[in-house]
Every structure is written in C-alpha cells, then in structure tokens.
Amino acid sequence: MCAHSSGAIGFPLRLLAREVYDRVVAIKGEAQVALITGEERIEPPGARYFLCTAEAMPRDGGGHAFVALDEAQLSADRERGHVFTDRLLNARGREETMLLGAATLEPLVRTLVPRAEIVTRPRFSTLTHIGARKLSRLPPRSAIVAFSTEQVYTVAEMLRRFRGGAAVVMGALSPETRNRQVAMFQAGEVDYIVATDAIGMGLNLDVNHVAFASLTKFDGVRQRRLVPAEMAQIAGRAGRHQRDGTFGTLAGGQGPAPEFDEEEIYAIEEHRFAPLTRLFWREAEPRFDTLATLIADLEAPPLAPELAPAPEAIDLAVLKRLADEPVADGVKGPGMVRRFWEACSLPDFRQLGVEVHARFVARLWRDLRGGHLGADYVATRIAELDRVQGDIDTLQGRIAAIRSWAYICQRPDWVLARDEMAARARAVEARLSDALHGRLTERFVNRRTAILMKTMGTDPALLPVTLDSDGAVLVEGEAIGRLEGFRFAVDPAASHGDRKMLLAAGEKALPRILTERAEALVAAGLEGVAIERGALLWQGHELARIEGDDPLRPRLAPARELAALPDAARATLLAALSEWLERALAPLESLAKLEAAAKSPEAGSQARALLLTVIAGHGTIAREKAGIEHLPKEMRPYLRRLGVTFGALDVFAPALLKPAPRALLHALGRDRRPLQENMQSVIGEAQRLPAGYRPAGQQGVRVDVAEKVLRAAHQARAEAKTRRFVLDPALAVSTGLAPESWHRLLGAAGFRRQPARKLAEGAYGPPAPDRWEWHPGRRGAGKPDRGRRGQDQRGGKRPARENKTPPGGGAFAGLADLVR
C-alpha cells in the first residue's frame, strides 16, 4: 500500500487496524494516514492512506490506488460474512486490489473474480502434533485455548497456582485490555496464555505450543466440533517464521481428554483443508422506501450459485423485532427508514442477545427520531460508566457499554459536540481497560511464582534477589519474604504450596544478602544494636548471647541465624560486636573491680565474703545480711578504696547506683528486679522495689539517699548531746520523702519518735517539735561509718559489742556455700 499514491485496507479487527495504522504513520506521517473503525475515527484532512475495519471501509474502495481486504475467508462467517463478501466483490483499487486469506478461499475467488492472480505464501515452519499433556507438563511459552469463559477462568486459576499465572485473552475483552495481556505474555512476565478462539486472528504471539482444552464450541446456533480449518487457524499460532511449533490437547480435566483424529492431524500438519463451497451474501444497497421493503431486500436470495443467503444477523433481527412495535410507527420516508436502519445496525458489544439489544436500540431511537442526542445527555451516560470499581465481569460489562457509546459518538449526525463526546468515551474506555487488565493480572498472575519458576534453576549468584530498605527480600521487585535481623522469613501470605519454593529461593541468595547486611551493619557502627535479656539484639532479633563471668569481657555465643553467614563475614561481625560490647560495658568497671578483689587472696576471707555478698546483691545489700560484724576493722579502709560504703542500713557501692550500670545489669539479665531508668531519689509505692532501693513506708528511697538522710539524723543526735533530740525534716522533704515515709526510714535505723504534746485548746504559737531517741540495739540499726577507726560520733572510744550473730550465719554462711 505504501508504494502507491493512496490506499485503503479493511481488517477484521479494530486492534489489527490500529496496529497497522501505527506502522503506516511511522512511514508516512500522521498527516497522511487515517484510522476509521466503528468506535474510533482519526481522519486528517489530507489523509491518503486509510486503515479501517471491514464494515467501515468504502464498499467500492473509495477511489484509492490500492485496496486490500484482510482475512477474506471470513466471507463464510455466519455473523459478518456478508460484509466481507460484499467487499470481496466490490472493493477495488484503481491500480491494485489484494485479497488476503486462507487457501480454502481459492476456488471461490477464481469463480467470482476470474481476473484474480493467485499467489501462495507457504508456511516456513512446521506444526507437529504431540498428543495430550497435563497442565503441569505443558512446556513454557504455551497457549491454552478454551471455548467458554468458565473454562478459561478455571485453566488460568490452575496455572496461577502451579506456574505463576497466565495472560488471558477473550473476545469479550476490549482491544486495549487484550493488547495489555498479550504484551505481558510477550514480555516474558508469564510463560502461558489462556484464550478463546479469539487468539486465532489478529494476534502475533511468541508461542511454541498450542493446547486445546476442548475441541467443541457453541457457534451461536448449536454446540459443534471445530472443523479442521478452524483448528489450524488456532494451532497455527504455534511457531513463527522458521521456528517450528507443536499442538495437542489438554489432559487432566474432568472426563476424558479431547483428542484429534488422524484426518484432523494430517490436515493441520500438511495444511490441507476442504475448500469453501459458498460465501454468505446480503444485499448491501437495499431500498429504503418502507421498512417492509428494506426487510425484503435484506432477506433477498443471491443470484450467484457460489453465494448463500446470510443467516439472520443481529442487526436484521433487531430491525424485524422493532418494526412491529409502536416505536417504529413514525418511521416513514426513505430518509427516516435509512436512519432507523442505521440505529438498528448498532453492534451488540454487550453480547446480550436480540431482546436486550433491541430495547437499547429502541431507547436510542426515541432520542434520535427528533434530531441529535444532546451533549449533556451523552456526557451523563458516559459519566455513569466512568467507574473502575468492581470485579472482572462488571468491568467487562462497562467496557461493552462504553464501546456502544463510543460507536454512537462516531456517527456524524447523531451527537452534538461529536468530537468531544467521542474523546470522552475513548478516555473512559482506556481507564476501564486499565482497571480490567489490573483485575485480570491480580486474579490470574502470581508474578512472584512466575519469576521463581524461571529462575530457580539458575546459578544462585545470578538469582535476581535484592534487599529492600525495609527488610523485604525481592525477586525482580516481587517480595518473597522478609529478613528479620539475620533470619529469612517467608512471606506469610504465601500459600502452603509456595512456601517451600520461596524458602529455597531465599536460601539460595541468603549468603550474599546476609554478607551485604553484615557489612552495612559494621560500617554503620552497629547502629541499633542493644543489650536486652542477656543478649545483643538488632531490630528486635538476637545476634548473640552474652556468656561468661567477667562483666567487662564476656564471651559471645552467636545466634543460630548467623550460621548462614560465610565464615569471613561472620568472624568480622562477631569481632565488631565484641568491640562494641566492651565499650558498652564500661559503666560496670566498678563491679569488675569488686569481682577482681573477691578473687584476690590479698582481701582475706572475711572481706572476700562480704564482697561476694555485695556482688550477689548487684551493688547493694542490707547491713543486717552483710555479716559486717565478722569483718576486721582494718579491712574497712581497703573496701572503701574499692568503692564500698558501710551505711546505717545498707552496705553498697555508690558507683553501681547510677542509671547506666543499673540499666546494664538489668539488660544483661544479672539483676532481674524491676529497673528504675532514671534512678530517682524517691519513688512512689511499688509492688516490687527496683534494684538499689529500700522501702520507706509507702515509698521507696534509693539506698545512698537513705544513707544521706540517716547521716544527717546521726549528726543532729551527736550535736544534741542529750538522750532526746530534735530532727529537722528539711533534707528528707527536699528528696521527696513524705513525713510518714521519713518516720519509717528513721525507725528502721533505730530512731524512735516521741510525739510532742498538742497545743492546749485556746493556746497560741507554733506546736512543739517531736523528739527522737536512738536505740542501737534494734535489728538492722547501725551508725554510718565515716572512716574513723575506733571512734564513735562524739569522739569517744566505741564500746565493744558482743557478737550476737549465731555461728555459721552472715557472710560466712555464703562463703561456706561458695567453698563447697
């Protein structure tokens, strides 16, 4: 065509016309090329090359230099055959006319067009029958052909489950959706395509094998077996150019597998088919005097014996149906009859049958009878269909409806603001087609499984597995699981059948991914690593357990997940963790000193026993349990240099009462008591006191703060030099102790309160303060140790006290247990 000055080609499908239009535009430019179909019209003023559907092409060729009709054998089609027959007989080019079709048409062409020159193009590749195959045994790049929507959906669902999915092609899909599905197959996103016999025409596919799920179909009149020519039209999709193809049937369904007979196999493999004996014909230029005359002309028989009357198509059925109804009462005169016939010729895109389609045409005619359809009315109808919600069937119904309105908007004398309304209809169809493609892909394609099926047998180093920033493990963009710390977890949404395959895919690439993650973690300075429950955790997952007695240099036992790391990467990570842990444990240096002294012979057995008791209490122990009465006086300075304080109620290491060491001891699991993160001086009532606190009434007070309060009380007692004395509560109040809690704390240290008398009634002035006495004989009570050997608080010699501790008690009981 492009070698001529002008030309027109008629195609059986809109999508074919669009495909060739794009190719001719690339050669000739947009200004010279027109696209004319029932639903779309692109016609520049100076267009010289026309790509049309057969119905839209000029029936006489339009005076172009070149005219062609594609798939001319469709002249034998029951529904549209009369259109192709008319173009075959009448469409001619000034210089050249070309009829493209199957060899079965050759005898009739020789008879009807004697001057035609027959040119045969043999198929370069061969087709081979390979019998029935189960779905699981189908080779990649296969097309499975079914003849009902239910069967297409069933096969596609099974392929999704076992092979990752399939593209779906059906006649009910819009051309845009069909092209998107085919493009997905051609791009290799899926290896299978499930289709109706719509695959047999207008689709150039990279298919190696065609499997027939059935060999019978309903042709609009009855259920019948496909003829060999129809089988070959479909099977011929396998193989392209010089690449051979195969065909067969699909086994494993309900009932016996369909089988080709020997004659059918021979006909398909050798391309030998019975020639067509007649073509369907209908008067293309009927008279429009009356509806009765129009119907009579459309039903008139052909004169040539090679032609047969066309079966009643839906346009004629709608015309006859409405001609007897009141809606046609006002159809008089040639102009009105022609307009009424044009309305009845509206294609039934919805495929709902004569009755439903006739009602739609009748409603349309009521608006057309008086003139044009208003732009507002058409815009409203289009807007009603502009909704992308719904399932596959719902979207297919909307696309069919919008195609009807696109056809209506293309008529030159039907709609006001025709170009704008046609553009709106095409835009809505495009949006609905995108949504339908998405629904089909969502339902019938498991892209993750499809990718894995193609890549599982490859070199693990080449497996396209990547790690997303949020921890998702991806194969070509599809998530197969998550990396939780250094443990791979399969996507929980995966089916049971997919889990094994996903796990295998993840494990193949795991060493490389884990190495990259370990290197990134070390390079970031182990950011996010924390000590919890005696282990090093990262992102809430364990990296290693902390073991050993040395608080500053413990051992690390790597978690089981790190075993998947290569040896070098694991060693590097563990070394970095050890260094990080050593720095993190620096606040426990004072505890390390205590533990080192507890193992030193220099300390003596009594001091070592007390140190072990303090260590067991994680830095604090009640004085009454410390066994301090067995400690020689000369050992106290040594223990004070180690950071041990001998308080009135507690023996403790102040350095271990700070927030950092307390948090570390809790995180290491060495101190399982509740943690007070900020180590406040006084806390409220707690069911179980945190580490480093002692009870004081309804409150808890940190032991070093309690010691400060008790030192102040002993200082006041020493300064009073009387048996009874007054204590100032200011210090206790400043720490947050309530009066009742202060009283209880002092009581635990041996102080006894003597409440003052209340003021007499009518008396004025401040009340007398309470007075206090100290009774050191009370259990647990003692004076704070200020480091003055042999001196009491008033400077005198301290009287010797009788040892009241029973044999084997105190620290020596713990030491005896330790020795055992």
pLDDT of amino acid 462: 47
Structure tokens at 366: 């009521």
pLDDT of amino acid 794: 36
Q: CA 803 to CA 414: how far, in whole Å?
A: 119
Structure tokens at 409: 């908007």
Q: To the nearest 5 percent, what fractions of the chain are helix, strand and coil?
A: 45, 15, 40
In eight-state DSSP terms, residue 207 is B
Q: CA 650 to CA 253: how far, in whole Å?
A: 84
Global model pTM greater than 0.75: no
Q: CA 73 to CA 90: how far, in whole Å?
A: 15
Locate all alpha helices (DSSP H) within 721-762, ordered by sequence. 730-735, 739-748
Other beta carbons less than 10 A from residue 251's beta carbon? 17
Q: What angle do CA 110, 116, 117 make, to 5 degrees?
A: 105
The three-state secondary structure class of 268 is helix
Locate all alpha helices (DSSP H) within 236-370, ordered by sequence. 262-270, 291-298, 314-323, 333-344, 354-368
pLDDT of amino acid 209: 94
The parts of the chain modelled with pLDDT lower than 70 are: 202, 241, 253-255, 446-464, 475-478, 480, 491-508, 551-552, 686, 777-820
Asked whether the beta carbons of 34 and 51 are under 8 A apart, the reply is: yes
Asked whether the beta carbons of 580 and 564 are under 8 A apart, the reply is: no
Residues making up the chain, counted from first to last: 820
The three-state secondary structure class of 307 is strand
Other beta carbons less than 10 A from residue 746's beta carbon? 24
Asked whether the beta carbons of 650 and 622 are under 8 A apart, the reply is: yes
Structure tokens at 684: 């409220």
Other beta carbons less than 10 A from residue 720's beta carbon? 14
CA distances from 164 to 170, 212, 420, 442, 481 (A): 20, 20, 42, 11, 17
Q: CA 539 to CA 556: how far, in whole Å?
A: 18
Asked whether the beta carbons of 40 and 406 are under 8 A apart, the reply is: yes
Q: Which long-range contacts (CB under 8 A, 24 or more apart) does 577-586 make?
A: 577/526, 577/529, 577/536, 577/543, 577/544, 580/525, 580/526, 580/529, 581/531, 581/536, 581/546, 581/554, 581/556, 582/552, 582/553, 584/531, 584/664, 585/551, 585/552, 585/554, 585/664, 586/552
pLDDT of amino acid 802: 38
Asked whether the beta carbons of 618 and 601 are under 8 A apart, the reply is: no
**Bridge pairing between strands 192-195 and 167-169:** parallel
Task: Give the H/E segment covering residue 614.
Answer: helix 604-616
Strand order in the sheet with 682-683: 682-683, 699-702, 693-696
Structure tokens at 248: 């067969």
Tell which residue, 308, 272, 283, has the closest CA to residue 112: 308
Tell which residue, 754, 749, 715, 753, has the closest CA to residue 731: 715
pLDDT of amino acid 448: 58
Other beta carbons less than 10 A from residue 747's beta carbon? 17
pLDDT of amino acid 326: 92
pLDDT of amino acid 192: 92
Asked whether the beta carbons of 514 and 486 are under 8 A apart, the reply is: yes
